[in-house]
């Protein structure tokens, strides 16, 4: 008898979630964050043929081509998203200007566009906080200068990127997550070296 009752409760919950989604309320029902894509600027704040702008507080990502916004997507961040990423395992999403430095079509999160974290600013903060050595800082600066993937094996962490798996709630270890269809669009549009600007 209790199994039938449990099945009815589960069915009712699924129905209510679908009904709420039709009314725009599924995000709140499922513990997702309601995002505002309207906060993204129409024009790109930096000059580049293609670029990404991420607003952490609004959980929004804008895709820009030739200076104009051509896409806007809801995102999920690390589980501890406020502030700069400081070290491996802090579950924060970085803030700063980076670039696409790797592409992985075989990611367990559908598709993965790696960003060049840690960057020069992160390396300077890391050196000042005794997180990295001067040699590690130099390697990070050289990678940024040459447009390469920085070392991802320092105490600052690494392997931060844009990937699929679902946007709208914070569940990653520091990456930027989107719905799979959205990351597919970014995958088709973006190239190695394209800038990624992440603001609070």
Does residue 145 sit in the same domain as residue 82?
yes
Full-model pTM: 0.81
Q: How many residues does the chain have?
A: 200
Q: Give CA–CA dist 197/98, Å, rounded.
A: 6
Which parts of 1-92 are beta strand (E)? 50-55, 60-65, 68-74
Per the structure, how many domains does the chain have?
Answer: 2
Specify the pLDDT at position 11.
40
pLDDT of amino acid 35: 57
Same-domain pairing of 14 and 88: no
Residue 95: domain span: 33-199
Same domain, 60 and 20: no
So what's the pLDDT on residue 39? 86
| Co-location of 58 and 134 in the same domain | yes
**Positions in the chain whose pLDDT score sits under 70:** 1-36
**Same domain, yes or no, for 79 and 22?**
no
Determine the pLDDT at residue 167: 94
As a whole number of angstroms, the distance between CA 154 and CA 138 comes to: 12
Rounded-to-integer distance, Cα 115 and Cα 41, Å = 22
Q: What is the pLDDT of residue 36?
A: 65
Same domain? For 99 and 116 the reply is yes
């Amino acid at each position: 008898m209790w199994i039938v009752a449990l099945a009815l409760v589960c069915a009712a919950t699924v129905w209510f979630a679908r009904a709420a989604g039709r009314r725009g309320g599924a995000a709140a029902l499922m513990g997702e964050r309601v995002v505002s894509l309207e906060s993204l600027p129409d024009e790109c704040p930096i000059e580049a043929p293609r670029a990404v702008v991420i607003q952490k507080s609004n959980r929004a990502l804008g895709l820009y081509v030739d200076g104009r916004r051509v896409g806007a997507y809801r995102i999920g961040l690390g589980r501890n998203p406020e502030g700069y990423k400081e070290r491996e395992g802090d579950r924060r999403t970085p803030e700063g200007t980076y670039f696409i430095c790797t592409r992985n079509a075989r990611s367990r999160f559908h598709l993965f566009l790696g960003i060049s974290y840690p960057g020069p600013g992160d390396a300077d903060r890391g050196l000042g906080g005794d997180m990295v050595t001067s040699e590690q800082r130099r390697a990070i600066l050289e990678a940024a200068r040459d447009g390469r993937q920085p070392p991802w094996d320092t105490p600052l962490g690494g392997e931060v990127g844009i990937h699929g798996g679902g946007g709208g709630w914070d569940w990653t270890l520091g990456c930027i997550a989107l719905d799979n269809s959205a990351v597919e669009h970014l995958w088709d549009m973006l190239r190695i070296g394209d800038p990624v600007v992440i603001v609070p």
